[in-house]
Structure 1
Amino acid sequence: MPRPARAEQFNAGEVCIVHVVQRCVRRAFLAGIDPVSACDFSYRKEWIRRRLEALASVFAVDVLSYAVMSNHMHQILRNRPDVVAVWSDQEVAIRWLKVFPGRRIEEHLAEPTENDVNRLVQDTKRLAEIRRRLSDISWFMRALAEPIARMANQHDECTGRFWEGRFKAQRIIDEAGLLACSMYVDLNPVRAAMAETPDTSPHTSAYDRIEGERGKELSSAAFDLVPIPTEQAGKEMRETPVDKLRKKRKAKKRSPTGRRIRRDSWLAPLTLHPEKLSADAEVHTAGLRASDRGFLSLSIRDYLQLLRWTARQSVDGMVLKIPASLANTLTEVGIDASMWRELVWHWQRYFGKSTCAGRPDSMRAEAERTGRHWHRGQQAASACFVS
């Protein structure tokens, strides 16, 4: 059965949560240690993490969870058309031009000017389309994958594909599915025997949140959302040698704003506060992410406790009693605590071929909404959830 059209799974005009997977071509270890050539490409994982962080600062897309592996990457993304609707025309224009500056001669070095922003603002039809694209997960993934592929090909002095093809998308339709999927994504390095615990799994959202709770900081990769004055850009182009402009551009790419931030500041907050009005977009104003809205009804402390406990259940057949407090947490969202380990470690068994994930009743309702009779995994996953 062919994959469904993206429009059948998610819409840029409505808020939805999607688990996406992008694999390297032929599943080669192009971001890890290549078993054939023994070349170590692990440094590319940081390329991907920084690009994710940069895009989170300009798109109306919340990064909920992520994991960068040696031959693929996972993200759980939430598009936010309600956030982009609040941005002014100038904000929309500068955000778009930072990622897609258009064709320019090299001396401009892709830095948008005030004149560029004003010209785009005056094109109302195009600006309306750009607003839609800034909350579109497909455009977010395009802006993530293409630059990484170009950088890798340039580094390897080759041409051709870096990614296998279009990313796989799976809509997450309720909190039970989101909690299990988040754990599955965060525990990918442990599951692949690349790390023993989430605390030693870099290039995952779990690692960033753990380090953030410890007060660890990093140099921000967020875009500087301030256009260059047109006169200044013209003067630099006329009076500054190209080599010097290139060095300046490279330095700014390493730290566009010159800020240091808490390691997890660019990720969506984990805890969803129910007292917040549903109509409140909770727009983030510090230029690091789209919004300040959480996504789970757990505290970060409870989430990390459950994550670490689940990481210790890595061996099939291991039967350890789940702590009562964690069992209550799972039951509240509709998950059978005795099946929790099975659900997370064998996520692919239940939802690997499904276009959506969640409780069976939620999947049934989603099937009806999209004109289907059922979704794959609906029956098999029923044992993992409570009615």
Structure 2
Amino acid sequence: MTRARSNLIDPGTTPYYHCMARCVRRAYLCGYDAFSGKDYEHRRQWVVDRLRELVTIFSIEVCAYAVMSNHYHVVLHINSQPARDWDLDDILNRWTQLFTGPLLVQRYLAGQTLSSSELSRVKEFAEEYRQRLQDISWFMRCLNEHLAREANKEDGCRGRFWEGRFKSQALLDEAALLTCMAYVDLNPIRAKMAKTPEHSEHTSIKERIDQTRNTATKKQPCLLKPFRSQGQNPDTALPYFMTDYLQLVDWSGRAVREDKRGFIPSDTPPILERLMIDPDEWLKTMRWNQRFYRAAGRLKAMKAYAQQTGQLWIQGMGSSGRIYT
């Protein structure tokens, strides 16, 4: 049953969400379309560039992404603290990078003198924009509308480009976040578009690997929310070390290959042990969308989420109880 977006995305429940958008009918977001003979490979960079732009405007961070042929995945984190600290000019300057804004806002930014009532209305606009700039629905709208306009312009057509509104899943705890990020980063390998993570073009894991290989900087990518590292504030970083995550993704990628399906190496990554994740169930959960729908997490968290959204049961509870022991 369709549910209101406000019931599905609640920062009070979790700040982490997995979002996915798919093109309508036979439309191609990226890649080579054998049916029409057209190559849309260059559009992959459109997605990455737009994400890079939006994270500098919104109070939302990207944890993982993968750009596929007719859809893309992105794991987002709502970081509300910066938005709370923005002053009036910060908010209006950010918002007007995306939208023109009302005439009163334009006059204020142009330095014109406003009456007290006009200034009060500008402040009301700013508070509304403050909320929107930490709203995943607005983030995805600014991403998808931009991509649709660019694609329709290039194709010389009008009409819908996406099959519908983006799909979202609440990631209720660290275990769900880890599982989903690995699933997203492994998408090109599962689709046989790449053999290894370091060759998976237009994915977050390749961007992280490329950046750390850069001997000049050795810094984590500015587009992506950083992993915990020495000197990194744990409150502003992903709750894992990057070396552990890379080992985990590489191990998972090897294990789900056709010639090695179900094989569990003896050197199971330490992060699985720390999070008490069952390795056999982890492999099955690499078929992520077949197991979880609206939300993912440990069974206790999913039961609480179901109760909060007025449901007795949500898809994935059985899987959750098996994988997250």
TM-score for both structures, normalised by structure 1: 0.75
Q: Verify the 8 A CA contact 1:81 1:132 in the aligned structure 2.
A: no
1:313, distance to aligned residue in structure 2 (A):
1.8
Q: Verify the 8 A CA contact 2:303 2:313 in the aligned structure 1.
A: yes
Which residue does the alignment assign to 2:227?
Answer: 270
Mapping of residues 1-387 of structure 1, within 5 Å: 1=1, 3-11=2-10, 16-26=15-25, 28-102=27-101, 114-115=109-110, 123-215=122-214, 264-271=221-228, 293-296=236-239, 298-316=240-258, 318-324=261-267, 326=269, 328-344=270-286, 346-351=287-292, 354-386=293-325
Q: Deviations over 1:338-372 (max 9, x none)?
A: 3222212x112211xx2101122221122122232
- The one-letter amino acid of 2:277's match is I
Q: Verify the 8 A CA contact 1:62 1:267 in the aligned structure 2.
A: yes
Separation in 2, partners of 1:369, 1:52? 31
1:312 is paired with a residue whose SS is: helix
1:145 is paired with a residue whose SS is: helix
Provide structure 1 residue ranges, at least 5 long, that are not aligned to the other structure: 105-110, 218-259, 279-292
Q: Go from structure 1 to structure 2 and tell me whether the alpha carbon gap of 1:13 and 1:30 turns closer, same or farther (over 3 Å shift).
A: same
Separation in 2, partners of 1:49, 1:93? 25
Separation in 1, partners of 2:52, 2:112? 23
**Higher mean displacement: 266-275 or 25-34:** 266-275
1:30, distance to aligned residue in structure 2 (A):
3.0
Q: Verify the 8 A CA contact 2:175 2:298 in the aligned structure 1.
A: yes
Separation in 1, partners of 2:265, 2:112? 55
1:88, distance to aligned residue in structure 2 (A):
1.4
Q: Verify the 8 A CA contact 1:19 1:170 in the aligned structure 2.
A: yes
Q: How many residues align?
A: 318
Separation in 2, partners of 1:152, 1:85? 35
Q: Verify the 8 A CA contact 2:21 2:72 in the aligned structure 1.
A: yes
Separation in 2, partners of 1:14, 1:54? 27
1:380, distance to aligned residue in structure 2 (A):
3.2
**Higher mean displacement: 119-128 or 169-178:** 119-128
Q: Verify the 8 A CA contact 1:12 1:137 in the aligned structure 2.
A: no
Q: Verify the 8 A CA contact 2:296 2:320 in the aligned structure 1.
A: no
Q: Deviations over 1:87-128 (max 9, x none)?
A: 111111111111112489xxxxxx999417997975111111
Separation in 1, partners of 2:264, 2:324? 18
Q: Go from structure 1 to structure 2 and tell me whether the alpha carbon gap of 1:165 and 1:261 turns closer, same or farther (over 3 Å shift).
A: farther
CA-based RMSD of the aligned residues comes to 2.9
Q: Verify the 8 A CA contact 1:29 1:70 in the aligned structure 2.
A: yes
Q: Verify the 8 A CA contact 1:172 1:357 in the aligned structure 2.
A: yes
Separation in 2, partners of 1:261, 1:159? 44
Q: Verify the 8 A CA contact 1:31 1:70 in the aligned structure 2.
A: yes
Q: Verify the 8 A CA contact 2:61 2:78 in the aligned structure 1.
A: yes
TM-score for both structures, normalised by structure 2: 0.89
1:31, distance to aligned residue in structure 2 (A):
1.4
Separation in 1, partners of 2:282, 2:74? 21
